[in-house]
Structure formats: C-alpha cells, structure tokens
Amino acid sequence: MQAALAWPLAVVAAAAAAAAAAAAAAAAAEVQQPSTDGLPGHHDMASDALLQWVRNNGGQVHVAVRHVPGRGRGTYAAWDLAPGDILASIPVELVYAANYSLGLGFESAGPTLVLDMTEPTSFWQPYFSSLPKPGQVLSKELIPQPYLPIIQDENTEAAIRLLQDNIEHYCRLLQPAFVKLQLEANVTHCAHGTALLSTRTFSYNSQEVLLPIVDLANHDNACLHTHRVEPCDVAKGNKQREEGLPAPEIPASFASGVVIPAEPQDKEVTAACSNKEKSQQRAGSCRANLNPKQSRGVSGICIVWRAETVVAKGGELCNNYGLLLQDNTVLQYGFLQAGDIALELSMLDRPEHSQKFEEVWDKPKSTWGQPLPHKFTGTAQDVETEVQRLSTRLAALKARDAAVASIETHSDDPGGRILAMLLEWRQQRLRAIELEMQRLAALREEMRLDAIDEL
C-alpha cells in the first residue's frame, strides 16, 4: 500500500472537487451508441464516418474505434492480430499538412486549421468532424494563465504565456478571413486549432501532418506498434518490410488532397465481405479487400500502421510518441498517464532538465520500447548533492500549497477539467520527489556499507 500524500487537506479537496466536475463534463461530451459486436465500449458516429471516408478514398482500416468509460476514445482490434498485420493503410493524399504561410510554429498554423475546418465542402471534412471538439483538448495552449502557478517553473510558465500571446497574434492577423465567413476571431477557437496540431501531428517528409485513424490511438510508453511509409500495394509493402528495403519517397505535394475518385465496389467482393463476421463489418473493416478497383491516390504511397505484437480481439491498439514523463503528457498532450510512470520524477524536477527558456519542452532520451526513465546515479557526493537539490525543490513546492489551493476554476475551463488535471499532477510530483529521495537515501547507505567492506 502506498503512503498517503503529505498534502494539505485544502489542496486535496480542491483536486477532488475539480476531478468530479471534470468527470461529469467528460461523460456529457461523449456521443455513444451501444456496441453489439463484442468489442469494448460504445460507437462514435463521427469516427465511424471517418473510417468509411478513408476506405472510400483507397485506404484500408482494420481497427475499431470506441469510447470506453474512464478511458475515452481509442482504437481496438476487430479480430485477433499477429505481428505484421496491417491496422490501417492511409494514402498520403488523405493527410492534412500544417499550413505555415503565416509564420513558424503550430501557433501560426492553428488559426488556419480552424478556418479550414469551417469549410463544409472541404475534402477533409469527414476527418475534421472526428477531431476533438473545443473543451476536449486540455494541453498548454488552453491552460488559463491563472492556473500557471500550479506548474511552479518560471521558464515553463513564461513559455506558455508567450505561446498563448503568439496564438492571439496570429488569430488577429486572420480576423478579416473570419469576418468574411461571418465568424468571430475567437482566441479560444484559435488556441483549440493550435492544440489539435500540437497534440496530434506526426512528422513525415519534414512536414507536420495530421494522420487520420492513427491519431485516434492512445499513447503508451511501452507500445511497439509502428507506422511508416510503404507502397499502398500490400504485396510490395510486405516485401519492403521483410527485405528491409528503403521506404518510397513521398512527393513534395503529398498533402494536396487530390485523390482519384473511387470506382463502384465490385459486387462479388462486397458479397464476400458480407459473409464475414458482423463484428468485422461494424468495426469499419473486413478481411476481404473492399476496394480492389479504387485508386490508392495519385502517388500509390501510403502511411501504413502495423501491429508489432500479438493482440487479441478487443485489445487496445496503442501508439508511441517516445518516452513521455508525466509533465510531458500533461503540458504537451493534455492528459495524465496511469501506472508507475506517475511515480517517476517529472522532467521539470529532474537534474537534467534544461533551464534554457527555448528548451523547456525537451523530452528525456530513451530507447524505443524501453519506457523506464533514467535513474540518477553517481558518486556518494553526487548522490548527496542530488538529495539536497530534491529536498530544496520539495520544500519550495510545499511552500506554495496554500496559494495553489486557493486557485478557482476559470471561465475558460468549463467543468474544471484542466484544473483537476494540474492539481492531480502536482500531487504526483510531490510523491515522486519523496520516493526518489527515499531511493537515493537507500543508495547512499548502500554505498557507505560497500565502502566499509572495502576497508
């Protein structure tokens, strides 16, 4: 059993109240339909429409998308999967590339994304409709500034303020376009667009893109499933994978959205699929190739997501953004990770954390598939110095307990979901520091005994 957190009751009560409000808001936001295919959770109509859009435009989708209570939206195996099985194959013409015509950084591209999402005839509208709605993304772009003292790191707080100021700047630059569409140049909406890009993009061909289907998978530090550039032709893709051949080169204009219209499905293939398990159909896929005559896009190049481990039907299919500590996911992606990672030091509290303003988002170095973060070690003097550093850090955090407990839910945080997340993370930070100090004390004692034995 873990020891109780040494936190003032006022702060614990504030976190509990905010968490309860957040849970209610999250439940109200989900659009659910009962699942009848034996898979977890509930259907999401927008996600189902997205799967169909991808298939209609030459893609393959062999996963199910579900809302699971307490877990949110995720991707699940529609049947038993083996290593190498294709989870989804997305023609490169279906991805949406961030538009940096106004400047550098997601803060310049976010407002443009908001404008694109308002276009009802957009090629990507089925994808846009599946994206999280305002209030469902909780990353740094949307953290109300009165909440920043909870973070208690000067450079990080300053970086968030600058980011939000830049979002407002670019949002104002596009005000004429918003007015033309009879829309308000709402900074919160622009921040939401920026948050969608910063939390969901993948880098391909030196360009940040939104990748349909794959971006629905939840992050897991230990996840091994991969997605890479392959020929859309399955046989050629398998050959590339098996023989270690180089990936095809993506055309510079791959995010143009130009796709050859799909031809009608072959009746024999459709009939063959209809005989498959209903669960596969409801999952938005079928082992038969439903699109044998459909173009895979002008380029014939896809981004292919494959299983790298055995996954049983109904198992969740994850994604891996690299080793992420708790503050990485809270600030960059807007969620708390479950499990032992919550008891590891946040990046902000680690000795290797950069104090340079421009590097506050640095992630720790890690080996793919090995999620355990670096553990501090060194000489006895090094360990003693680190214990003192952590002790000072812990005292500084606790000294702000009263001020943190007095922070109230902001109007830009309906339901208090962001506040609840930050307060819970702060409690975890304190506990992680205490545990690391205990580990280092034990290490120091071990070193002392070893030194005695050597005498």
Range of the domain at 42: 35-238+297-317
- What is the reported pLDDT for 336? 94
Question: Residue 3: inside a domain, yes or no?
Answer: no
Query: What is the number of domains present in the chain?
Result: 2
Question: Residue 24: inside a domain, yes or no?
Answer: no
> Are residue 398 and residue 304 in the same domain, yes or no?
no
pTM for this prediction: 0.79
Over pLDDT 90: what percentage of the chain?
49
Cα angle 63, 65, 70; round to 5: 130
In whole angstroms, give the CA distance from residue 245 to residue 224: 20
- Burial class for 451, CB neighbours closer than 10 Å (0-12, 13-18, 19+): exposed
Copy the structure tokens of residue 241.
């994978």
Report helix, strand and coil shares of the chain as percent, to nearest 5: 45, 10, 40
| Exposure of 210 in the CB half-sphere (CA atoms within 13 A) | 28
Of 264, 289, 317, the one marking the end of a domain is 317
> Are residue 308 and residue 391 in the same domain, yes or no?
no
Question: Residue 273: inside a domain, yes or no?
Answer: no
> Are residue 227 and residue 203 in the same domain, yes or no?
yes
- Burial class for 36, CB neighbours closer than 10 Å (0-12, 13-18, 19+): exposed
In whole angstroms, give the CA distance from residue 62 to residue 85: 9
362 against 55, higher pLDDT: 55
> Are residue 113 and residue 151 in the same domain, yes or no?
yes
- pLDDT, one tens digit per residue, over 173-185 is 998 888 887 777 6
Question: Residue 65: inside a domain, yes or no?
Answer: yes
Confidence of residue 98 (pLDDT cuts 50, 70, 90): confident
Question: Residue 9: inside a domain, yes or no?
Answer: no
Question: Residue 413: inside a domain, yes or no?
Answer: yes
- pLDDT, one tens digit per residue, over 393-452 is 999 999 999 999 999 999 999 899 999 999 999 999 999 999 999 999 999 999 888 778
> Are residue 178 and residue 215 in the same domain, yes or no?
yes
- What is the reported pLDDT for 358? 52
> Are residue 303 and residue 391 in the same domain, yes or no?
no
- pLDDT, one tens digit per residue, over 228-283 is 999 999 999 899 988 888 888 776 655 544 333 334 344 433 333 333 344 333 33
> Are residue 226 and residue 348 in the same domain, yes or no?
no
Confidence of residue 139 (pLDDT cuts 50, 70, 90): very high
> Are residue 211 and residue 85 in the same domain, yes or no?
yes
Instruction: Give yes or no for residue 204 having a pLDDT over 80.
Output: yes
> Are residue 234 and residue 339 in the same domain, yes or no?
no
Question: Residue 119: inside a domain, yes or no?
Answer: yes
- What is the reported pLDDT for 11? 34
> Are residue 221 and residue 105 in the same domain, yes or no?
yes
Kind and range of the H or E element at 174? none
> Are residue 162 and residue 109 in the same domain, yes or no?
yes
CATH code for position 60? 3.90.1410.10
In whole angstroms, give the CA distance from residue 279 to residue 67: 16
- What is the reported pLDDT for 253? 58
- What is the reported pLDDT for 259? 36
In whole angstroms, give the CA distance from residue 329 to residue 203: 18
> Are residue 311 and residue 344 in the same domain, yes or no?
no
- What is the reported pLDDT for 246? 85
Q: Is residue 383 within 8 Å of residue 440, measured between CB atoms?
A: yes
Question: Residue 267: inside a domain, yes or no?
Answer: no
- pLDDT, one tens digit per residue, over 12-33 is 344 444 444 444 444 444 445 5
- What is the reported pLDDT for 84? 94
In whole angstroms, give the CA distance from residue 360 to residue 357: 6
- What is the reported pLDDT for 298? 63
- What is the reported pLDDT for 15? 43
312-316 mean pLDDT: 93
373 against 128, higher pLDDT: 128
Task: Enumerate the β-bridge partners of residue 96.
Answer: 210
